[in-house]
Amino acid sequence: MSPFTKNSEVTSLILDSLPMGVLFCDMDGVIRFVNKAYADLLGQRPEELLGRDITEIIPHSRARVVLRDGRAEMGELCQLGPGNALPVIVNRIPVRDGQGRLAGMVSQAIFNDPEELKKLSSKIDHLGHTLNQYKRRIKASLSPQYSLRSILGESAPMRRLKQQVQSYAQLDAPVLILGATGAGKELFAHALHAESPRAEGPLVSINCAAIPKDLFESELFGYARGAFSGAHQDGKIGQIELADKGTLFLDEIGEMPPEIQAKLLRVLESRSICRVGSVNARNVDFRLVAATNRNISAMLSAGSFREDLYYRINTFVLEIPPLRDRADDILPIARYVLSRMGLEHLTFSPEAEAAMLAFSWPGNVRQLHNAVVHAATMRHGDLIEVDDFPPDTLPSADLPLRTVAAGDLSDIMADTEAVVIRKVLAEQGGNVSRTARTLHIARATLYEKLRKYGISRR
C-alpha cells in the first residue's frame, strides 16, 4: 500500500526535494504553496509564508505584473532575502487552468549560489566556443575553394564562359558542365556557387566515379539507425541532405549507376529524400550542378543514362573548350604556374613557348600545370627549354618546328600556327575538309589562314 493517500502529498514531497525554490501564488497574489528551498532563501519556514501576500514578503516582487499581463519573465536576477542576501535567478511563469484561464503564478528560483551561476556560465561559454569552432570547420570544408578570379584565361571563349557563369549563377535551375578531363569543370562549379545567392550555404561536392556502387545510395541519401548490418547506431546524414540551402555538385555524373539515377530524379521532382531504411521524407532545398567528360548523347542512345534525368539537369549548359581551342590562354597559364611556385624570374625560351602553343594538350590545364612544374624543376639556369618538359608532353621530334627568333608573342603564335596547319594538311593529303575537322575549325576559317600564310593545298 502506498504511504501517500493524496496526490497533493506526493507533489509536496517532490517539490520539497528539489534543489531549486518553487513558490505559487493565486490571482490575488496570496502564497498558496512554497517549498523548503524557496522558504530558506526567504529566511523563513514554509508554514510561516502560506496565506500571506507575496508583496508583504518580497516588496519589489513583479508577481502582480505577471498576473496582470499573463506573460512570463525568464532569467531575471533578483534579491529575495534580506538586504545582504545573495542574488538569485528567478523565472516567473503564469499558470492557467484547463480552460486556459489565468489561475496564478509560479516563481522559480534557480540558483542561490552565484558561484554555481558562474560555473554554469563558464561551461556554456566553453561549449559555445567549441560549437563555433566546429561550425567554422564545417563551413570551411563546405565552402567554395575557387571563384571566377580563380579561373585563368582571357581568351574570347573563356570571357564568354565567365559571362555565362555570372548569368546562370543568379538563377536556381540546374547547370550541366561539359568538358574534357582537366579542363576545369570543378572550378566552374565552385564559381557558380560563389556567385549565386546560395553562396553562404554549403557546397557539397561528390565525385560519382569515386564511390563504390554498393555504397552509392547510402552515401547520397544517408541511412536510418539500424538500416543494415554494420550501420552506425545513430544513422548517417546523406550528402544530398548536407547540401540543404546550398549547392550539390555531382562531378562525373555519367558514372552514376542507373538505379541511383532514378532515385536522384525523384529527389529533384519532389525536393525530398528518404534515408535508407526510413519511410520518413525529409525536405531538401538545393541547387544542382552536374559535370561530366562523357559523351552524354552517346550514353542516351546506349541507354546507360536516363533521358528524363538528362532533361532535368541540363536546363543550362556550360561547355568548357579544350585548351587546344584557346591557345591564347596557354602561355598566361604557364607563367601563372611559375608565379605560384615563387619562380616569377624564370622565362621560357622562344622554342619552348612555340612548342607549348603547338602541342594539343589532351590533358588540358591539368596537364599543362604538371608539365610546367616538371620543366621548372628540371631546368638549368633561369631559362626553361623544350628539353626540360616531360618527353611525352612536348616531343620536339614529333613536330617540325623551326627555330623562332625572340619577338612578339603574336609573331611566335602565327609562326607556330602556320607550322601546325602545314603539318596537318600534309597528313590529310591536302584535303581541306578533313584538315579543318582535325583542327576543330571551320573550313572558311582554314581557307582564310591558308591565304594568310601563303600555304598551298598541294
Side-chain half-sphere exposure of 194, counting CA atoms within 13 A: 16
Element housing 291 (H / E): strand 286-292
Amino acid at 51: G
Contact at 8 Å (CB) between 220 and 238?
yes
- What does pLDDT average to over the chain? 83
Residue 425 has pLDDT above 70, yes or no: yes
50-54, 138-142, 326-330, 381-385: least confidently modelled range:
138-142
Q: Which fold has domain 8-113?
A: Beta-Lactamase (3.30.450)
Q: Which triple of cell numbers denotes residue 394? A: 612536348
In tens, the pLDDT along 97-124 reads 888 899 999 998 876 555 665 666 667 6
Predicted local confidence at residue 2, as pLDDT: 40
pLDDT more than 70, % of the chain: 83
pLDDT band at 138, cuts 50/70/90?
low
Give me the DSSP letters along 402-425.
Answer: PP--S--HHHHHHHHHHHHHHHHH
Residue 243 has pLDDT above 70, yes or no: yes
Predicted local confidence at residue 117, as pLDDT: 58
pLDDT more than 90, % of the chain: 37
Contact at 8 Å (CB) between 267 and 248?
no
Structural domain boundaries of the chain?
8-113, 148-321, 324-388, 409-453
Predicted local confidence at residue 136, as pLDDT: 59
Rounded Cα gap, residues 156 and 326, in angstroms: 8
Mean pLDDT to the nearest integer, 387-408:
58
Mean pLDDT to the nearest integer, 132-157:
71
Q: Which of 393, 353, 348, 349 is nearest to 370 (CA)?
A: 393
Predicted local confidence at residue 405, as pLDDT: 44
Q: Which fold has domain 409-453?
A: Arc Repressor Mutant, subunit A (1.10.10)
Q: Which of 130, 197, 128 is nearest to 169 (CA)?
A: 197
The top-scoring range by mean pLDDT among 23-32, 122-131, 351-360 is 23-32
148-321, which class in CATH?
alpha beta
- CATH 3.30.470.10 applies to domain 324-388: no
Q: Which position has the higher pLDDT, 98 or 395?
A: 98
58-72, 215-229, 321-335: least confidently modelled range:
215-229
pLDDT band at 421, cuts 50/70/90?
confident
Contact at 8 Å (CB) between 21 and 108?
yes
Predicted local confidence at residue 236, as pLDDT: 85
Residue 5 has pLDDT above 60, yes or no: no
Residue 456 has pLDDT above 70, yes or no: yes
Rounded Cα gap, residues 105 and 102, in angstroms: 8
Mean pLDDT to the nearest integer, 191-201:
92
In tens, the pLDDT along 290-348 reads 999 888 888 998 889 999 999 999 999 999 988 888 888 999 999 999 998 999 999 99
pLDDT band at 249, cuts 50/70/90?
very high
Mean pLDDT to the nearest integer, 187-198:
93
Does the pTM surpass 0.75? The reply is no
Characterize 274-293 residue by residue with b for buried, 16 or more Cβ atoms within 10 angstroms of its Cβ, and e for exposed.
Answer: bbbbbeeebebebbbbbbbb
Predicted local confidence at residue 355, as pLDDT: 87
Task: Give the sign of the dihedral formed by CA 389, CA 395, CA 397, CA 399.
Answer: negative
Mean pLDDT to the nearest integer, 230-248:
84
Distances (CA, A) of 163 to 156, 167, 191, 325, 350: 11, 6, 11, 18, 33
pLDDT band at 6, cuts 50/70/90?
low
In tens, the pLDDT along 146-165 reads 788 888 888 888 999 999 99
